[in-house]
Chains A and B, each alone.
Chain A
Amino acid sequence: MAGAPLDAIRRVPLFAELSDAELEQVARLFKQRGFPAGETVAKEGSGGAAFYLIDSGEAAVTLAGNPRGTLGPGDYFGEIALIDEGARSATITATTDLSCYGLTFWDFRPLVQENAAICWKLLQFMVGRLRAAERQSP
Chain B
Amino acid sequence: MTGVVTLAEARDDSIFGSKAVGLGDAAREGLPLPPGVALSGDIVEAVASGEEGAIEQVVRLARDLPLPLAVRSSAVDEDGADASFAGQHLTLLNVPSCDALGDAVREIWWSANSDSAITYRQRVGLFRRPSVGVVVQSLLDPDCAGVMFTRNPVTGDDELMIEASWGLGEAVVAGMVIPDNFRVARSGEVLDRTPGLKRIRIRSLPEGGTREEDVPADQAEALCLDDAQLADLSRLADRCEEVYGAARDIEFAFAGGNLYLLQCRAVTRAGV
Contact = CB atoms under 8 A, between A and B. Distances in A.
A3 B127 contact: no
B109 A47 contact: no
A12 B130 CA distance: 26
A104 B114 CA distance: 10
Contacts of A106: 113, 128-130
Contact of A47 (B50, B51, B110, B119): B119
A46 B119 contact: yes
Interface residues of B, number: 21
Interface in B124-171: 127-130
A34 B106 CA distance: 10
A104 to B, nearest CB: 5
Contact of A49 (B48, B49, B52, B118): B118
A43 B127 contact: no
Contacts of B113: 49-50, 102, 104, 106
Interface in A74-93: 85, 88
Given A2-B49, A3-B49, A31 B106 contact: yes
Given A85-B127, A102-B110, A47 B122 contact: yes
Contact of B48 (A28, A31, A42, A46): A31
B49 A33 contact: no
Interface of B: 48-52, 103, 106-107, 109-110, 113, 115-116, 118-119, 121-122, 127-130
